[in-house]
Amino acid sequence: AGYHPNLHRDTSCIFIPDASPWDGFLLDAGTGVYRLIGRPLPRNLHIFLTHAHLDHVCGLTYLLNVLLGRQCEVKLYAGPVTLEAVLHTLFDSPLFPLKFGYPTQVVEPGVPFEVAGVKINTVSLCHPGGSIGYRFDWPHKSLGYVTDTGGDVDYVEFIRGVDLLVHERNF
């Protein structure tokens, strides 16, 4: 939805509440994270970040309100540069008074992994500061999530055949 929210849209943030029976996925953590306040949450919330630009991560600071008084485990997945920015810049004074208190996992582009029975693969994208595209493969459906790409990287084969593609190209 662009780099800033308005009355009709939020920045990059897609919630998949039923990624598996006990797990939900959050694709990026833009301003839409606040919409999870008061919504039913899964037992485990897995957050996948594409990159560290504020329109993709600022909603992480809303997790205090989203999770207040709730039983929901959170885990954050991102590339090393993004994790460094989130853990040591966004969640550090003077920007935010608290440290990020949830487990993290480094995502390396091209190295597949699995979360809650979902096969996940990633690809490097061309974007200032770098970005990661995700492909999620369930047994009977698939999703490609490719945002903020300039197009210099050939990712067509990476997303070929997905059932649903969320794609945004900028610059």
pLDDT of residue 171 exceeding 70, the answer is no
pLDDT of residue 2 exceeding 80, the answer is no
Query: pLDDT digits over 50-68, tens only?
Result: 999 999 999 999 999 999 9
Query: pLDDT digits over 78-109, tens only?
Result: 999 999 999 999 999 899 999 999 999 999 99
Query: pLDDT digits over 151-170, tens only?
Result: 666 788 999 999 999 988 76
Query: pLDDT digits over 124-134, tens only?
Result: 998 878 899 99
Asked if 29 and 60 count as a contact pair (C-beta separation under 8 A), the reply is: yes
Asked if 16 and 25 count as a contact pair (C-beta separation under 8 A), the reply is: yes
pTM of whole model > 0.85? yes
Nearest to 82 by CA among 147, 20, 10, 165: 147
Name the burial class of residue 50, with classes exposed (0-12), middle (13-18) and buried (19+) by CB atoms within 10 angstroms of its CB: buried
